[in-house]
Amino acid sequence: MQPATWDGCLGIYRTPDQVCTMIALSGFRTLVTDGKTIWVYHLSENGEQIAYNEIASGAQAPVQVSFVTADSPTEELDSQIVFQSQLSGDLTGSVQRTVLMADGRIYRERSAPLSNSKPTRKLIKTLSTKEVETFRNQLAQQGFVNLSRMRYLTQEAFADYPTIRLQTPSVSVEYIDLAIKQLPPNLQKVIAQWEALSQPRKNL
């Protein structure tokens, strides 16, 4: 269970153009499981209002679901970054970021803080304005905002197996790639769409 402050929609957004009353409603979000599937619910403080977070729900064992606390260190993205994935957490301390900029550039940056080496950056490709907008729309259609501060890991993540963080300037979600098929369906779709988008263009 995690304390939260909700708007009039209890922090759940079913359509991109959904209008919510701008109020500060104290509440919390919690997990319910039958031992195999995990569901996420948002509640008001007194428990009278309950909303089912369908997008964040549906993870299957062995995935362990938790909430990222508000005080957990999370990189604040530049406003020109549309989306990024970050792979980190292995024994070497290396970090790999793949970033989509508003101007369409997708680049990959690698760094190894423990080795004191300088980060390396490589341009993968440049998207058209339409392609960037299409991806933004895909994120909205998959309800990516409803995955905010969710974490989907397995035991391997606690044994120095790297984890992945998907992030926009306002939303961050973490997962492990050992159990993709056990993640919530919409998160699986976002992962697949991003992996396809961030591949280098094939030479004709």
Whether 75 is covered by a domain: the verdict is no
The predicted-structure confidence for 40-76, as pLDDT tens digits, reads as follows: 999 999 999 999 999 999 999 999 999 998 777 677 8
Looking at the structure, tell me whether residues 144 and 189 fall in a common domain. yes
Whether 203 is covered by a domain: the verdict is no
Looking at the structure, tell me whether residues 17 and 87 fall in a common domain. no
Nearest to 178 by CA among 195, 147, 198, 153: 153
Q: How many domains does the chain have?
A: 2
Looking at the structure, tell me whether residues 7 and 92 fall in a common domain. no
According to the model, what pLDDT value does residue 114 have? 67
Q: Which CATH number belongs to the domain containing residue 85 in this structure?
A: 3.30.1560
Coil, strand, or helix at residue 82? Answer: strand
Domain assignment of residue 26, given as a range: 2-61
Low-confidence ranges of the chain (pLDDT < 70): 73, 113-115, 203-204
According to the model, what pLDDT value does residue 203 have? 66
pTM over 0.75: yes
Whether 127 is covered by a domain: the verdict is yes
CB under 8 Å to 47, separation ≥6 — which residues?
none
Whether 74 is covered by a domain: the verdict is no
